[in-house]
A and B are shown apart, each in its own frame.
Chain A
Amino acid sequence: MKKKIFSFVLTVMIICFIFFNPKITALNKSLKSEFPKYNNIEIRENVLSQDIKSIKEKGYLTVALYGKDRLGFFENKDSDLKGFEIDLARKIANSLEVELKFERSSQTYDGLVDLLILEKADIIISTFSATPNRALYLAFSNPYEELRTGVMLSKKYLAANKIEKNPIEHLKNYKTKLCVQKNSSYSDTAKKLFPLSEFVEIEDTDLAFEMTKNNEVDGFFSGELEFVEQSIKDPILSIYTKTYVFSDINDNFCIALPKKSTEFMNFINICISSFKKTTINEIEEEYKNIFNKKESKE
């Protein structure tokens, strides 16, 4: 009993000492008053690199997007932009604590490069692949999406050449007339893979698909994103064409920045590393839903 009373009194004394001791109270106060100095935004702004600082000063991030809708970025029925690339752009803008703007004046992928060089945009996020030619003028982030490349072949071509399962050796060893998108990464890849083929370089992918469908060319070399997109837009395409995708030849989509933006590049790579990669099925599902709603509205 005595022991219990003693320990109770001792506890009360310790509590009183801590709370009513003037020295401890003063130290607490001084700590509290000094702490905000370490969380001062003005101090942090001083260490920001020039590229990031200029975006923050503007208050918005301008992202260059290809003029036409693609599976990575497309308008829904309310004209809002949707897609996995829009989500990524939004994530970067939110991390920078700035607004997000899109620059969609370019109708060609080459034009996107100019937008960045002319400083009309801060970055390009537009199913844009890193190619040696583009790397001369732009810097590229780590890939945020890796999709397969492939070739869509006309079924008449396949039937005429008695190809039922695997057309690769035929494409490698015989002259084939293939469409490629002008100045795209696919154009370089296709020329490397099928050196004997004749290539028809076309700016507009819709036209390339139409030509393949009508058997005006034997096929169209591109990426699975384009094939999925066109197959949703034109469901009967599968009657006239057959699509093969190459699991060992990927098309990596990267964010392009001006050459000088080295610090901003680090920042973007960190954003990409925490960005959940979307599967082609998820991309297709999202696009299909929005595309169907849009069609029914029209």
Chain B
Amino acid sequence: MIIKILKNPITLFVSIILGIFVGIFFKESSKSLSIISDIYVNFLQMCILPIVACIIAINFSKISKGKSKKIIKKWIILVFVSFLVAALISILSSIFLKKFLEPSPDTKLAFSEIDGDKTVNSKFTELKFYSNNEIDETDNFSLYTFLINTIPNNIFSALSNGDVVGAICFFSILGIMLSKVKTKVSSNLLEIFDVIYNSLNKFVTIILNFSPISIFCVLAVQFSDPNKVTLIKSLIKLIIVMHLIFFTMIVISFIIIQKKINLTIKEHLSAISHTFFISIATRSCMASIPTAIEDAKKKLKLDETISNFTLPIGITMFQSGGIISAILATTYTCMIYDVPLGFNVIFGTILGSILYAFSFIGAPSIVAASMLSGVLGPLGLPSDIISAAWVSVLSISDPFLTFQCIYTNIAIAASLSSKAKTT
């Protein structure tokens, strides 16, 4: 009975409203709820790496068996199409909404006060002129560094450090190779992966039953933190535009999925509600992977193999939300420093943002924001102010960014799936 109530989407909705209410009006007591939310998110994250590893090994072994090579090619093309669509929508929004987005003097003032109440003097960087100073050059993100970082030199340290990209690389190769070694032991090993995946998936399902409680705690904790309210207020226009872009991407994904499934709009919305609430509450793509896979397979009735194969990798590595975020950050920086949005800047922004989206993988907001220098640096734009401000922007836009990334990948999986049979 309790489980039934907890599973009901209305319970989830009520817990979201309650969480926000408690966070705003009972700030002090809300902070203590972080223990419950941390335990919940940790339980989910504990299972992610083994689930992703097993699911990739199993599905790569199946896909490499022959017939699905075309699917991989199509999938990669669709991923890049989704990236380009996200980039184009972001660039066009920035150009057409330039006047709306233009930073006001108050916004600039809020930027200058990002360091808080520090004295002016303490913001200066103290250096020794007569000591050995080395030439300081930033290492910008590049395809080379991405490739080097993708291949782990030690799989055990990659696993212990939670290096999801490294794990994906290793288990993809392992899955393909296990399918090539046609012995009983190799198929037994794949079965072991299957058992591990199923057991952990069961555990995650149990954990997810308690999501209304955790969502309530997570939101209460988040809304009890009033820091950087001024900055967020002054960046509200930017946050609105960002959400408009997310919304456009979600609508496009919705139409694509709707065309592939035999569900009514209401059923479609209900099918995706659990993934929506989990991604909104946890604000973590990784933590939402198990729910997304389950919803895609069981509720949206997408192809099981394709969902199992594309969703964990896609949600982990192909986050179009990162591109939207990076493009908006870049165009906004151009507006602050009066740099015109010429062809070179637009081309550089799109290219840099796609690379940034890869570097974004699994990174928390604060790290993702600091990585913006990888996009801004090559364009000769300063990144310190926008990186600091972006932490606040992401703290607000993270929930929808997470959902947009997951939903776009579900749309890609739907495009790859054959149209579901009428049930």
B119 to chain A, nearest CB (A): 6
A159 close to B380 (CB less than 8 A): yes
A35 to chain B, nearest CB (A): 53
Q: Which residues of B contact A231 (CB under 8 A)?
A: 120, 123
For the complex, give the distance between the alpha carbons of A246 and B336 in Å: 29
User: Quick check: which of B124-132, B312-320, B411-419 contacts chain A, the rest being far away?
Assistant: B124-132
Given A168-B133, A169-B133, A232-B120, decide whether A248 and B380 contact each other with a Cβ distance below 8 A: no
B336 close to A166 (CB less than 8 A): no
Which of A159, A160, A173, A245 is in CB contact (< 8 Å) with B124?
A245
Q: Which residues of A contact B120 (CB under 8 A)?
A: 227-228, 231-232, 284
Chain A interface residue bracket vs B: 35 or more
Interface residue B138 (Cβ < 8 Å from any Cβ of A):
yes
A230 to chain B, nearest CB (A): 9
Q: Which residues of chain A (199-240) have a CB below 8 Å from chain B?
A: 224, 227-228, 231-232, 235-240
A246 close to B133 (CB less than 8 A): no
For the complex, give the distance between the alpha carbons of A148 and B122 in Å: 13
Which of A165, A170, A284 is in CB contact (< 8 Å) with B121?
A284
B37 to chain A, nearest CB (A): 35
Interface residue A244 (Cβ < 8 Å from any Cβ of B):
yes
Interface residue A247 (Cβ < 8 Å from any Cβ of B):
yes
Which of B112, B125, B136, B376 is in CB contact (< 8 Å) with A239?
B112
B212 to chain A, nearest CB (A): 43
The listed residue with most A CB atoms (<10 A of its CB), out of B105, B124, B373, B381, is B124
Which of A193, A228, A243, A249 is in CB contact (< 8 Å) with B125?
A243
The listed residue with most B CB atoms (<10 A of its CB), out of A236, A240, A280, A285, is A236
Which of A160, A236, A249 is in CB contact (< 8 Å) with B111?
A236
Which of A169, A224, A249 is in CB contact (< 8 Å) with B135?
A169
User: Quick check: which of A61-69, A120-128, A150-158 contacts chain B, the rest being far away?
Assistant: A150-158
Interface residue A46 (Cβ < 8 Å from any Cβ of B):
no
For the complex, give the distance between the alpha carbons of A166 and B122 in Å: 17
A168 close to B380 (CB less than 8 A): no
A286 to chain B, nearest CB (A): 12
A245 to chain B, nearest CB (A): 5
- For A161, the closest partner residue in chain B by CB is B137
A247 close to B124 (CB less than 8 A): no
A166 close to B133 (CB less than 8 A): yes
Tally of B interface residues using CB under 8 Å: 37
For the complex, give the distance between the alpha carbons of A224 and B136 in Å: 23
Q: Which residues of B contact A167 (CB under 8 A)?
A: 136
B382 close to A244 (CB less than 8 A): no
For the complex, give the distance between the alpha carbons of A283 and B128 in Å: 23
Interface residue B189 (Cβ < 8 Å from any Cβ of A):
no
The dominant DSSP class at the A interface is helix
Q: Which residues of B contact A248 (CB under 8 A)?
A: 128-131
A155 close to B382 (CB less than 8 A): yes
For the complex, give the distance between the alpha carbons of A175 and B125 in Å: 22
A165 close to B377 (CB less than 8 A): no
For the complex, give the distance between the alpha carbons of A249 and B129 in Å: 7
A169 close to B129 (CB less than 8 A): no
Q: 1/0 contact trace for B359-389 toward A, CB 8 Å?
A: 0000000000000010011001111110000
Interface residue B195 (Cβ < 8 Å from any Cβ of A):
no
Which of A148, A159, A164, A281 is in CB contact (< 8 Å) with B119?
A281
B140 to chain A, nearest CB (A): 7
Interface residue B343 (Cβ < 8 Å from any Cβ of A):
no
A239 close to B108 (CB less than 8 A): yes
B134 close to A169 (CB less than 8 A): yes
A164 close to B136 (CB less than 8 A): yes
A231 to chain B, nearest CB (A): 4
Interface residue B113 (Cβ < 8 Å from any Cβ of A):
yes
- For A235, the closest partner residue in chain B by CB is B112
- For B103, the closest partner residue in chain A by CB is A239
Interface residue B337 (Cβ < 8 Å from any Cβ of A):
yes
A224 close to B124 (CB less than 8 A): yes
Q: Which residues of B contact A170 (CB under 8 A)?
A: 135-136
A244 close to B128 (CB less than 8 A): no
Which of A169, A228, A235, A236 is in CB contact (< 8 Å) with B136?
A169
Q: Which residues of A contact B382 (CB under 8 A)?
A: 155-156, 158-159
Interface residue A135 (Cβ < 8 Å from any Cβ of B):
no
B242 to chain A, nearest CB (A): 21
- For B115, the closest partner residue in chain A by CB is A238
- For A166, the closest partner residue in chain B by CB is B136
Q: Which residues of B contact A242 (CB under 8 A)?
A: 125, 384
For the complex, give the distance between the alpha carbons of A159 and B333 in Å: 12
Which of B105, B127, B134, B373 is in CB contact (< 8 Å) with A247?
B127
For the complex, give the distance between the alpha carbons of A244 and B133 in Å: 13
Which of A160, A164, A166 is in CB contact (< 8 Å) with B380?
A160
Which of A164, A224, A249, A281 is in CB contact (< 8 Å) with B138?
A164
- For A215, the closest partner residue in chain B by CB is B337
B384 close to A162 (CB less than 8 A): no
A239 to chain B, nearest CB (A): 5
Q: Which residues of A contact B130 (CB under 8 A)?
A: 248-249
Q: Which residues of chain A (16-64) have a CB below 8 Å from chain B?
A: none
B380 close to A165 (CB less than 8 A): no
Known contacts A159-B382, A242-B125; 18 additional CB pairs below 8 A are A148-B126, A155-B384, A156-B337, A159-B376, A159-B377, A168-B129, A168-B133, A224-B121, A227-B120, A236-B105, A236-B112, A239-B111, A239-B385, A244-B125, A245-B127, A247-B127, A281-B121, A285-B119
Q: Which residues of B contact A (CB under 8 A)?
A: 105, 108-109, 111-113, 119-131, 133-138, 140, 336-337, 373, 376-377, 380-385
9 contacts between A and B (CB under 8 A): A163-B138, A165-B136, A168-B129, A169-B134, A170-B135, A227-B124, A235-B113, A245-B126, A246-B129
Complex A-B, nearest 4 residue pairs according to Cβ-Cβ distance, in ascending order: A155-B382, A168-B133, A231-B120, A160-B380
Q: Which residues of A contact B (CB under 8 A)?
A: 148, 150, 155-156, 158-160, 162-170, 173, 193, 224, 227-228, 231-232, 235-240, 242-249, 280-281, 284-285
